[in-house]
């Protein structure tokens, strides 16, 4: 992919926007959110777990172990965006914008307009970030579980 991203021509930029930003956003969201997430949720019978498993698979197919934790969070965000919006277009747009930042950032790096390699920004190997990630995922799990469990039900009772 670095070969594609290092092309500093205008045509190269347009091709990269289409091939690296637009097409993966559409195809990955239709596959992961539109098909796999729905199947996972139906299979495991629990929304959070289905979204989490889909997010982990989403991260694994990118074959970048050092940025897997942030990519799981991206998958969680996209998964919940799809669930709450009930429209695949919103995750596609967000995914496209996420990919577009990498394409534009790489273009600016390779044209020497910025000196930060955008491809290195997502590489994380930090135990503190890992613990925070576990905490956030656990918090979402607990929130979802409490929301689904209706132990206490308050009903309006007319007193005469």
**Tens digit of each residue's pLDDT (9 = 90 or more) over 112-123:** 766 665 555 544
List pLDDT tens digits, range 68-104.
Answer: 888 898 999 999 989 988 899 999 999 998 889 888 8
Long-range contacts of 136-144 (CB under 8 A, 24+ apart): 136/73, 137/52, 137/76, 140/48, 140/76, 141/48, 141/49, 141/52, 144/46, 144/47, 144/48
- Per-residue model confidence (pLDDT) at position 35: 95
Question: For 13-31, what is the mean pLDDT?
Answer: 95
Q: Model's pTM, two decimal places?
A: 0.71
Q: Delimit the domains of the chain by residue range.
A: 2-148
CB 91 within 8 A of CB 83: no
> Given this model, what pLDDT does residue 6 score?
74
| pLDDT value at residue 124 | 45
Residue 109 pLDDT level (bands cut at 50, 70, 90): confident
CB 50 within 8 A of CB 41: yes
**pLDDT band at 141, cuts 50/70/90?**
low
């Amino acid at each position: 992919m670095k070969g594609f991203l290092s092309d500093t021509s205008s045509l190269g930029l347009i091709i990269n926007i289409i091939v690296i930003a637009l097409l993966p956003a559409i195809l990955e969201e239709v596959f992961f959110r539109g098909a796999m997430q729905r199947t996972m949720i139906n299979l495991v019978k629990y929304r959070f777990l289905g979204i989490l498993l889909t997010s982990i698979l989403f991260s694994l197919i990118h074959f970048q172990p050092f940025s897997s934790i942030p990519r799981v969070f991206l998958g969680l965000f996209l998964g919940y965006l799809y669930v709450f919006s009930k429209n695949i277009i919103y995750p596609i747009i967000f995914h496209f914008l996420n990919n577009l930042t990498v394409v534009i950032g790489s273009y600016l790096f390779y044209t020497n307009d910025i000196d930060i390699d955008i491809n290195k920004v997502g590489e994380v190997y930090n135990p503190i970030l890992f613990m925070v990630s576990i905490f956030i995922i656990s918090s979402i799990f607990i929130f979802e579980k409490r929301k689904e469990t209706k132990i206490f039900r308050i009903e309006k009772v007319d007193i005469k």
